[in-house]
């Protein structure tokens, strides 16, 4: 690669940011890390970091995911011997407003990861702590408003009320203000997840390798924030070809009658789709 010639084009820093979603205790949660340095020192932020010289975008995202969670995502572009434990990783959108980082011009390629319920996260990189935060706590109740349809940049502070000097703000009642434009990125990621579980089998990425129909239903209920009819859900999900395959055993970990265990089937697209109830 020829040396960098600053007269030919303006130099940018390129980062990847991660929206890692999981379902914990019936709530949709995302991984946030506490910033150890300015700007936004002490505030919660999405995990992320610089893309390296010789790395592609999905590789950088997968590397950050491992560093933050230990998860190995399935990356179709990676060479075969990559142990995937089923986590899903896809590109979400790119954010590049000129003033989004006061230090320099940064373009961030956000990625969306879906993970089963994990043990406590391990902190890493420039963060001095990390946790799973309910998205409702970070975005408020009205996450459905911004449909993330139009061009996904330059919307300003967005949904989370950015209340001034509250560095390190937490447990103050209102939503916690994320650093940078991360509230918008998170909202876009949540909206993507809510849409995709309608017409794809991605909801299984929130489940352990073997799971019951009831556990899968509770994933849909947590992500969409609605209650679903267990009887119709069961019929629909077991009747959709390729969605679920019986794993053989049963479990009684939820109480009540033992439930059959399933694994995710080969299908990725659901036809007909799961229908999200009206608001």
Nearest alpha carbon to residue 113 among 179, 193, 182, 45: 193
Instruction: Retrieve residue 122's tokens.
Output: 């391990």
DSSP 145: S
Distance CA 101, CA 179 (A): 10
Helix H or strand E segment including 261: strand 259-264
- Are 126 and 36 in contact by the 8 Å Cβ rule? The answer is yes
Instruction: Retrieve residue 144's tokens.
Output: 């459905």
Closer residue to its own copies in complex, CB, 176/264: 264
Q: Which stretch binds DNA (CB under 7 A): 30-38, 60-68, 130-138, 257-265?
A: 257-265
Calculate the CA 279 to chain-centre distance: 23
Residue 226 binds to its own copies (criterion: CB under 8 A): no
Contact code string over 205-244 relative to DNA, x by CB under 7 A = -------xxxx-------------xxxx-xxx-x------
Residue 193 binds to its own copies (criterion: CB under 8 A): no
> Which of 150, 164, 253, 279 lies at the binding interface for its own copies (CB under 8 A)?
150
Residue 252 binds to DNA (criterion: CB under 7 A): yes
> Which of 84, 94, 195, 260 lies at the binding interface for DNA (CB under 7 A)?
260
Residue 268 binds to its own copies (criterion: CB under 8 A): yes
DSSP 253: T
Distance CA 94, CA 100 (A): 12
Q: Which stretch binds its own copies (CB under 8 A): 24-32, 51-59, 157-165, 169-177?
A: 51-59
- Are 207 and 200 in contact by the 8 Å Cβ rule? The answer is no
The least CB distance from residue 266 to DNA, in Å, is 20
Instruction: Retrieve residue 145's tokens.
Output: 């408003």
53 contact, one of DNA, its own copies, none, CB 5-8 Å limit per kind: its own copies
Contact positions vs its own copies (CB under 8 A): 1-2, 4, 6, 8-14, 50-59, 61, 75-77, 89-91, 93-98, 103-105, 107, 109, 111, 147, 149-155, 200, 268-269
């Amino acid at each position: 690669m020829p040396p960098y010639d600053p007269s030919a084009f303006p130099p940018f820093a390129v980062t990847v940011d991660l929206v890692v979603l999981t379902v914990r205790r019936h709530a949709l949660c995302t991984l946030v890390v506490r910033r150890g340095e300015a700007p936004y020192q002490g505030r919660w932020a999405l995990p992320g970091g610089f893309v390296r010289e010789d790395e592609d975008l999905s590789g950088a995202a997968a590397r950050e995911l491992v560093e933050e969670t230990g998860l190995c995502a399935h990356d179709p572009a990676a060479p075969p011997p990559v142990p995937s434990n089923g986590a899903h990783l896809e590109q979400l959108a790119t954010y590049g407003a000129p003033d989004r980082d006061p230090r320099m011009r940064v373009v961030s390629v956000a990625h969306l990861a879906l993970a089963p319920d994990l043990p406590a996260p391990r902190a890493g990189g420039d963060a001095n702590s990390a946790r799973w935060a309910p998205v409702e706590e970070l975005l408020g109740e009205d996450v459905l408003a911004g449909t993330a349809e139009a061009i996904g940049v330059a919307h300003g502070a967005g949904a989370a009320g950015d209340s001034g000097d509250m560095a390190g703000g937490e447990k103050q009642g209102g939503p916690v203000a994320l650093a940078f434009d991360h509230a918008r990125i998170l909202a876009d990621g949540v909206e993507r997840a809510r849409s995709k579980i309608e017409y794809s089998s991605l909801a299984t990425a929130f489940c352990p390798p073997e799971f019951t129909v009831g556990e899968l239903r509770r994933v849909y209920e947590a992500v969409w924030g609605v209650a679903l009819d267990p009887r119709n859900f069961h019929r629909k999900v077991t009747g959709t070809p390729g969605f679920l395959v019986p794993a053989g055993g049963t479990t009684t970990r939820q109480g009540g009658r033992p439930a059959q265990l399933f694994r995710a089937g080969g299908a990725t697209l659901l036809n007909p789709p799961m229908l999200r109830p009206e608001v």
